Amino acid sequence: MRRRPPLSSVTTTGTVLRDGAFGHATGLVCRECGATQELGPHYACAECFGPLEIAYDFPAVTREQIEAGPANIWRYKALLPVPADIETSPNTEPGFTRLLKADNLGRELGITNLWVKDDSTNPTNSFKDRVVACALSAAVEFGSKVFACPSTGNLANAVAAAGARAGIKTVVFIPSNLETPKQVNSAIFTESLVAVEGNYDDVNKLASEIAGEEDGWAFVNVNVRPFYAEGSKTLGYEIAEQLGWRLPDQIVIPVASGSQLTKVDKAFQELIKLGLVEDKPYKVFGAQAEGCGPVATAFKAGVDAIRPVKPDTIAKSLAIGNPADGIYVLDITRRTGGAVEEVTDEEIRAGIVLLARTEGIFTETAGGTTLAVTKKLVESGLLDPELETVVINTGHGLKTLDAISDQVGPAATIAPTYEAFAAAGII
């Protein structure tokens, strides 16, 4: 494993970080006021408390260099805040998941040229493995002694697994009323799963408190969030590379905090600037559930302010009532000529079955949401069915079995004889 410098010597004014600890990243820049600060475990602007983002000074990068890399996100290491020797540090090696041409689904939706980017085949079966891998690298470089998160699902799985593999202590905080199967999916990887009496907001608040009180804790989505969030860019890079170094015309992305959508757009912009793809227009669409659609509501109302909501939807991994990056989602979808749409739980369930029956992909409720929104966008004319379109599937249906258990089942129950089979009229 890489040598870790002690965290105590990492400050905003002077660090002992090793050379190239964050690759070509040059600092943290505030997305609101533009103030910059040194790279460190910080997430809020020292000037205005705005969200911080990684700034880079990219070298020349060629398609050939990337294609010669490993079949995981580290093929894009030159564009991430990670060291050049990142592959030598134990990690889950996520990414480079399938981009499937979805002709069956396209026929059902009336879209002539449709692709599904399937992140359900990542190490812990969601896109979170990408962001957590980047957060882990930062935690290692900062010399963090604990790798942690508050979560109810995919993030908890990803953090616990990545920490186990890296040999770093993990602590994962969950609401104590979480169903047993979801507890097991994280507890299998860590001896320090902590059940908190309260809802997810309570768990989240406790995490922020601990991050403030304790030294050496890297909370992936709190104090190392700027590094973590960059991992979502790899979804955009992969889609472009897998299309043959070309941007799609349209892309549909689920919106929880909104981070993924903003980072895919950032990735596309970077690829254009680096000359790795041709500059062309593309439309970005956001997908939400009606039970938690604050960004869709703002988009449709034509306003800039997002009014927080109390989530009530089966799409639990999208249930963020006050999305941190919601305003950026509005900016991007409006700038590119896209939209943000929302669908009912019933439409989400139908979306899950539709994707499975047409393309053999079992998606979680978030993916069902994205599918259902895509269908709705075609019907309303906001999405052009003649343009090349990519839909992102962010996670696996095995994690949200409850949502769909009563929707599908055996077509028939028969006696174990050929006669019984023949009489059942199966085909």
Residue list 187-246, contact with its own copies (CB under 8 A) = 187-198, 202-203, 205-206, 209-210, 213
- Locate 392 and state its tokens: 């992102």
Which one of residues 89, 125, 317, 393 is an interface residue with its own copies (CB under 8 A)?
125
Shortest distance, position 71 Cβ to its own copies, whole Å = 5
Nearest approach in angstroms of CB 82 to its own copies is 18
- Which CA distances in Å does 282 have to 211, 338, 426? 39, 8, 45
- Out of 52, 143, 362, 388, which residue is the one contacting its own copies (CB under 8 A)? 362
Looking at the Cβ atoms of 150 and 291, the one nearer to its own copies is 150
Near its own copies by CB under 8 A: residue from 93, 249, 331, 384: 93
**Choice from 16, 48, 305, 398 touching its own copies (CB under 8 A):** 398
Q: How far is the CB of 205 from its own copies (least distance, A)?
A: 7
Instruction: Pick from 356, 378, 382, 387 the residue near its own copies by CB under 8 A.
Output: 356
Binding to its own copies by CB under 8 A, coded x per residue (else -) over 140-159, reads ------x-------------
Question: What is the spatial distance between Cα 412 and Cα 294, in angstroms, rounded to a whole number?
Answer: 42
Give the count of residues interacting with its own copies (CB under 8 A). 84
Give yes or no for residue 176 binding its own copies (CB under 8 A). Answer: yes
Of the pair 60, 427, the CB lying nearest its own copies is at: 427
* Residue number, 56 or 173, with CB nearest to its own copies: 173
> Pick from 61, 171, 229, 329: which binds its own copies (CB under 8 A)?
171
For helices 154-166 and 128-141, what crossing angle results, to 10°?
Answer: 40
Single out the residue of 13, 180, 302, 381 in contact with its own copies (rule: CB under 8 A): 180
Give all strands of the β-sheet with 339-343 in edge-to-edge order: 99-101, 114-118, 389-393, 250-254, 283-289, 339-343
Residue 36 CB, shortest distance to its own copies, in Å, is 32
Rounded to 10 degrees, the C-alpha dihedral 23/4/9/30 comes to 30
Q: For residues 161 and 233, what is the distance between their CA atoms, to the nearest angstrom?
A: 21
Between 21 and 156, CB nearer to its own copies: 156
Q: CB–CB of 286/333 below 8 Å?
A: yes
Is the separation of the CB atoms in 239 and 268 below 8 Å?
Answer: no
Say if CB 254 and CB 287 are below 8 A apart.
yes
CB of 276 to its own copies, least distance (A): 19
Structure tokens at 216: 């050496």
Binding to its own copies, residues 105-124 (CB under 8 A): 118, 121-124
Closest among 340, 327, 388, 397 to 368, alpha carbons compared = 397
Give residues 11-70 in contact with its own copies (rule: CB under 8 A): none
Shortest distance in whole angstroms from residue 2 CB to its own copies: 13
Tokens for 263? Answer: 């980072």
Nearest to 368 by CA among 388, 345, 385: 345
Instruction: For Cα atoms 231, 268, 236, give the angle at the middle one, nearest 5 degrees.
Output: 40
Subset of residues 254 to 273 that bind its own copies, contact rule: CB under 8 A = none
Q: How many of the other CB atoms lie within 10 Å of CB of 18?
A: 13
* Nearest distance from C-beta of residue 114 to its own copies, angstroms: 13
Using CB under 8 A as the binding rule, whether residue 162 contacts its own copies is answered as yes
